[in-house]
Amino acid sequence: MEAAVKFAATEEHHVSAIRDIYNYYVLNTTVTFHAEALDDEEMRSILFFKNPRFCSYTILGNEDQVAGYLILGYYKPRQAYDYTAEVTIYLHPEWIGKGIGRKAMLYIEEIAKQKKFHALLGVICSENETSIELFKKFGYWECAHFKEVGLKYNRLLDVVVYEKLIN
């Protein structure tokens, strides 16, 4: 059953809840290559951008509970890449499997089109099959595969990049 959610521009009062979601993945999975939990300041540096083309949104569920977040972020912070964005979606574990990833992807792609981005990228640990399947369902194709570039849990992990051209 699909959950009813809404999307709101990320604000300061969302940071701690988003940090808790992200830190769950940091401490328990290979989804992210951070090895230690982040504090609020480190989370802010991921969520907020000087360039207004880049942005983050909080996914709000029942009674405005933070169900996750999504980011349209820098691929690389250089002007030549201003029309390329990395798409990031994280869900609170309790909200997985409720159709929110699909809704988040639809939402962020619409924002990307409005902001006139050209290329969207998903940079994903190759073990994260759920994210890979989501990106593939939305027409992203594997454009890069980096072998053994991340070290976590004493294992060398691969990173795959999925790309979609939208404008």
Per-residue pLDDT of 57-114, as tens digits, reads 999 998 889 999 999 999 998 999 999 999 999 999 999 999 999 999 999 999 999 9
Residue 127, domain member (yes or no)? yes
pLDDT tens readout for residues 25-58: 999 999 999 999 999 999 999 999 999 999 999 9
Residue 81, domain member (yes or no)? yes
- What pLDDT does 63 receive? 86
pLDDT tens readout for residues 9-25: 999 999 999 999 999 99
- What pLDDT does 167 receive? 79
- H-helix or E-strand spanning residue 76: none
**Nearest residue to 21 via CA among 92, 80, 73, 105:** 92
- What pLDDT does 28 receive? 97
**Nearest residue to 6 via CA among 71, 57, 43, 47:** 57
Phi-psi region of 148 (alpha: psi -120 to 50; beta: other; left: phi over 0): left
Whether pLDDT at 128 is above 80: yes
Which domain range does residue 117 map to?
Answer: 6-165
Q: Residue 38: which CATH number?
A: 3.40.630.30
Residue 97, domain member (yes or no)? yes
Residue 98, domain member (yes or no)? yes
Residue 1, domain member (yes or no)? no
- What pLDDT does 3 receive? 78
- What pLDDT does 127 receive? 97
Residue 41, domain member (yes or no)? yes
Question: CA separation (Å) from 95 to 5, 46, 91?
Answer: 10, 22, 6
Whether pLDDT at 115 is above 70: yes
- What pLDDT does 2 receive? 74
Strands 141-152 and 155-165, by their bridges, are antiparallel
Q: Does pTM top 0.85 for this prediction?
A: yes
Given pLDDT bands bounded at 50, 70 and 90, which one contains residue 137?
very high
Q: How many structural domains comprise the chain?
A: 1
Residue 37, domain member (yes or no)? yes
- What pLDDT does 1 receive? 62
